[in-house]
Structure 1
Amino acid sequence: MFGCLVAGRLLQTNLQQIDETHAVFELSNASTINHVCVFLLGNVPFPEGYGATVHLHWPGRGFQLLGMLSNDKPSAIFRLRASFTYSTTTRAFEGQGSLTVPSEAASNTDVTAVLGISIEPLSQIYPQISSIHPNSAGSSNSIHRPLPNAALLAERIVRHLLNYLSSFAASGLGPDVAVPISIIEKWYVTFTNKVKNGGTEFLEREVE
């Protein structure tokens, strides 16, 4: 499903499957790597509403989040050299008992790093990616579209609620009529399910 290409080396397809949602590539002589490209091979797409986060494990320093892949963004280039910072370590691969990562090497000339791929819902991936400092990874690891700012997002949520309530106008619900709490609860359940399954992009489509 995934391929890995280090600049100046042969294409890697030797993906090591850890479980149904986690897999890794080993990167030998990692201290000599400047950039790596990770991509979907095109034979198996992500399930609807899912993508993958990409992580780097440098010996002795844990996993760091680099970026993401999705059906809309099937490839990404990451800068590895000097990209690791302790403040951006990730827990995506914690508890993966079958995963063996290299120990810290005595010499940086023969370090084997691990590139980890974790398949997750897009609704969980986007907040992780938006938290990455722009200088902590390659320039190609941003999500495929910018997240709306808080004020704009709040406006769209309120508009979505008003549009929902307007659909009840034919049944006698008007501007001076108290809204039953059951109607708000129904909207809340429907709205949160949409966000969990596909993010907030549906709000943009509804703004005309």
Structure 2
Amino acid sequence: MFGCIAAGRLVQTNLQQVDVNKYVFELSDPQSINHLVVFLLGTIPFEPGYAATVHLLWPNKDWQLLGGLSNEKPSAIFRIGGGKNNIMMNQPTATLGISIEPIETVQQLLSTLSSGVMKSGGSNLQHAVSMTEVGQMASRVIENLFNYVTSFAVQDLPMNGIALGEVTERGYLPVKAFQTWYNNLSRKLANDPNYLSSEKSA
């Protein structure tokens, strides 16, 4: 139901369900992570009246609320600071938690975040201006990734291939396509920092 990308790494598929409405990703070598992208997979939305909060847990620390996801905002980028934060140093793993809750509960929790980071409004989850721009960028990154890797989908699994998952009716994806996508996108951003802001990136 959920996907996660630590900037500079491949998409994580190690989602674990730990309760009826709670899911976690284990993040290895967390001190090297600066940004996390969390998103809904496929076309399965939240049930009406529900959304999700996203949290981060470091060993011997309390859960830290990062933000939220909803049907209106199915992806988000979170800055966690990487090795610049002392509490992250020498930690082998961290845990990314996602909790599906009634949208009123999600809005109440998000309202506790700094108003400059995120705010709630109306019946939908709404980001402040800076987070709206980040959310739009996250959507472009996900769209760019999806369009690129699905172009490599094959209907027949290669000999000795391992099926990591099926992409709807398009078939199977080679894992190498994700690394190639990352290398290509990194090169394009180095040449044009505004690449993801333009329509050609879709």
Tell me the TM-score range normalised by the shorter chain: 0.5 to 0.7
Q: Which runs of 5+ in 2 are unaligned?
A: 129-202
The 1:80–1:142 alpha-carbon spacing in structure 2 relative to 1, beyond 3 Å, is: farther
Equivalent position SS for 1:54: strand
C-alpha distance after superposition, 1:137-175 (max 9, x if no partner): xx5x6554269xxxxxxxxxxxxxxxxxxxxxxxxxxxx
Does 1:121 find its partner at 2:83? no
Other-structure match for 1:45: 45
CA 1:142–1:31 in 2, change beyond 3 Å: closer, same or farther? farther
Is 1:11 matched up with 2:11? yes
Whole-angstrom distance in 1 between the partners of 2:28 and 2:45: 28
Paired position in structure 1 for 2:34: 34
Task: Look at both structures and tell me which one has the larger radius of gyration over its CA atoms.
Answer: 1
Could you state the TM-score of these two structures normalised by the residue count of structure 2? Answer: 0.54
2:20 corresponds to which residue? Answer: 20
Q: What does 1:131-142 align with in structure 2 at a 5 Å threshold?
A: 131-133=112-114
The answer to whether 1:79 aligns with 2:60 is no
How far apart, in 1, do the equivalents of 2:21 and 2:90 lie?
A: 32
Alignment of 1:143-182 (within 5 A): 143=120, 144-145=125-126
Contact 1:38/1:75 (CA < 8 Å) preserved in 2? yes
The one-letter amino acid of 2:74's match is: P
Structure 1 segments of 4+ aligned residues over 3 angstroms from their partners: 141-144
Root mean square deviation of aligned Cα:
2.7
Greater share of strand: 2
Indicate the structure whose relative CO is greater, using CA pairs within 8 Å and at least 6 residues apart: 1
SS of the equivalent of 1:145 reads: strand
Q: Does structure 2 retain, via aligned residues, the 8 Å contact 1:67–1:142?
A: no
Letter of the 1:19 counterpart: D
Give the whole-Å Cα distance in 2 for the aligned partners of 1:146 and 1:71.
13
List per-residue Cα deviations over 1:114-153 (Å, max 9, x = no partner): 0000000001111110111257xxx5x6554269xxxxxx
2:111 is the counterpart of 1:130: yes
Q: Percent identity?
A: 52
TM-score if structure 1 supplies the norm length?
0.53
Distance 2:127 2:32 in 1: 32
**Structure 1 residues 127, 61: closer, same or farther in 2, change over 3 A?**
same
- Cα gap change, 1:15/1:146 in structure 2, threshold over 3 Å: closer, same or farther? closer
1:59 maps to 59
Counterpart CA distance in 1 for 2:127 and 2:80 is 23
